[in-house]
Structure 1
């Protein structure tokens, strides 16, 4: 009956409840004890029985966003990954062994096989050769990871798009009965000043159920927002300036050829602008950005404006070859449509316009008297007046 009480009081005394006994507070004595009790069991999962589950605490910090590839639908980031787990039954006294933490080679310990499901390329991050072990048996594995992961991008609202990229962390072989991931949330992020900025991080823990077993997973959702200032200055503003210039070109008189030449120059310049800035536009087979549609519509409006100028010029110089406009169409355009577009109504003129042209065939002096009022008829006979057609000034 006294034996359990003796063991209980002995465990309260410093150094008596520890599994490692150091002969002296030196590194050699501590590592000799670790060699006997720990390093020889590096192939075994650090639990007392096979039925026990090892809990691994996972923490991922986003250190930097290297780039987003719209064509390959990939995200390249630098993540500082931290894993913590306990070796059951391992501890030592800090005063007896001389330290509370040591660095141990990764090859001498059992390491959980945590991987990222969205990996697209081989891990090219720098290798870390050591992990930290404290006197309570807790192992801390901190390492940077360069991740080239798959991310389905939605570029419809480019360059004002917001992307949601997922990274799933989980053991590669060990099921949920062998290794269970627990989450240690952290909002510590090294903000970058590149094209992308981190808007938010969401973390959830889940269980992947498959016929072979259940796997513990932790999913990180990185909400990224693109900084649009570069594309606004280089793409949107120049395009809007050219469209505005094309609209103001309607103030030029249509009778001159400068208006058509000016519009053709604008179309040529806009085409060259699109060819130069084509590298800034994202290329993907999953959708077309709304900005590309805007550029296509702008180019179509410029072409339609040039066709309208050609049509007006044709009417201006070849109006004699067309029949007069019907009266109903003239009323519809000049009275009703003009009121819709807020054009002032033209006042009716009382002037009489006389066209100086050669004598029409079949038109005699007696017939002219029936068309022109007597008070205004002061012309001589057509055959007595030599009239020459006036050549228009170009």
Structure 2
């Protein structure tokens, strides 16, 4: 070990020299998949008079981390970072944690996590003589997923709800709903490519998209049912009433018959107007089904969004 008495050497407490003059242990990160030195690697070490040697290395690490994606994209992950000698045994090299190391939040330059992650905190675990571990708590930045996944699916749900105000007899309503369903299918495919299959639980965003997909599918079935009932009502309404008339003979009878025909014609017109005003049972059933489904649809949406929102953000 290198040390000296600083009063004997002009009170020099430390010196800086090339690190090639010193032996350094082969400390590695066990969880690292890929390790690269940064562009500016310091070639120096700092040696203190009491024998302490300080060497700084800036590394770019790609680490394997077991992830829980249940609350994706509002998830917080706990990743491990373990420092250990690779070729030397515990009797040859002992590793100790430095208790005076500043906390990560107050020294954000120590660890930099690029991309969608934000470092919240770290905790040191000491295994004196064997290894030193860091528990790194990182949080995902959810804004990009809210904009690209959650908000569009919510807009599709609102559009499907608004489509109930389109006349059920129009073919455009059914086409519009089918288009929404196909669009949700594309979003689900994008989500499947983004998420990994490492989580044992179904992510909340998968439940969110799946339930919206099911609701739109049920609304399509309801639209088909209403169209069938409305078509049957129109068919029953378009059947004209049957009337029978007897022949006439003689001049006097002819005049009376004309008057009776005129009276009968007025009665027929009145009868036709009354029939036109009277709704078919099929049409009434279609209106009842449509109104009932809309009410249940709105209640289901409110309850579902409240539950999944509370699970996401708690």
TM superposition score category, shorter chain reference? 0.5 to 0.7
- Give distance in 1, aligned partners of 2:139 and 2:49: 44
Matched, 1:283 2:195: yes
- Give distance in 2, aligned partners of 1:279 and 1:303: 19
TM-score normalized with structure 1 length: 0.53
Match of 1:107 in 2: 20
Structure 1, gaps ≥5 residues long: 1-45, 47-86, 208-214, 323-353, 366-378
Matches within 5 A, 1:191-210: 194-206=115-127
Q: Secondary structure at the match of 2:220?
A: helix
- Give distance in 2, aligned partners of 1:145 and 1:133: 22
Which of 87, 104, 108 is the matching residue for 1:189? Answer: 108
Deviations 1:229-259 (A, max 9, x none): 2222222122112202211222333233342
Change (3 A) 1:298 1:356: closer
Matches within 5 A, 1:226-241: 226-241=140-155
Which of 212, 215, 224 is the matching residue for 1:301? Answer: 215
Shift of 1:123: 3.4
- Give distance in 2, aligned partners of 1:290 and 1:229: 16
Matches within 5 A, 1:45-194: 46=1, 87=2, 90-93=3-6, 96=9, 99-126=12-39, 127-184=41-98, 185-187=101-103, 188-190=107-109, 194=115
- Give distance in 1, aligned partners of 2:22 and 2:268: 120
**Greater shift after overlay, 165-174 or 175-184?**
175-184
- Give distance in 2, aligned partners of 1:271 and 1:119: 37
Shift of 1:386: 10
Change (3 A) 1:320 1:262: closer
- Give distance in 2, aligned partners of 1:192 and 1:221: 14
Contact 1:94-1:135 at 8 Å conserved across structures = no
Shift of 1:292: 2.4
Match of 2:161 in 1: 247
- Give distance in 1, aligned partners of 2:84 and 2:62: 17
Structure 2, gaps ≥5 residues long: 247-261, 277-314
Contact 2:121-2:136 at 8 Å conserved across structures = yes
- Give distance in 1, aligned partners of 2:238 and 2:194: 62
Contact 2:35-2:59 at 8 Å conserved across structures = no
Change (3 A) 1:234 1:158: same
- Give distance in 2, aligned partners of 1:120 and 1:284: 18
Deviations 1:315-347 (A, max 9, x none): 21124889xxxxxxxxxxxxxxxxxxxxxxxxx
Q: Could you say what the CA RMSD is over the residues aligned between the two structures, in angstroms?
A: 3.8
Match of 1:66 in 2: none
Change (3 A) 1:104 1:249: same
- Give distance in 1, aligned partners of 2:119 and 2:137: 6
- Give distance in 2, aligned partners of 1:162 and 1:284: 16
Q: Secondary structure at the match of 1:240?
A: helix
Change (3 A) 1:162 1:186: same
Change (3 A) 1:104 1:380: same
Higher helix share: 2
TM-score normalized with structure 2 length: 0.65
Query: What is the count of residue pairs matched by the alignment?
Result: 248
- Give distance in 1, aligned partners of 2:179 and 2:240: 39
Higher strand share: 1
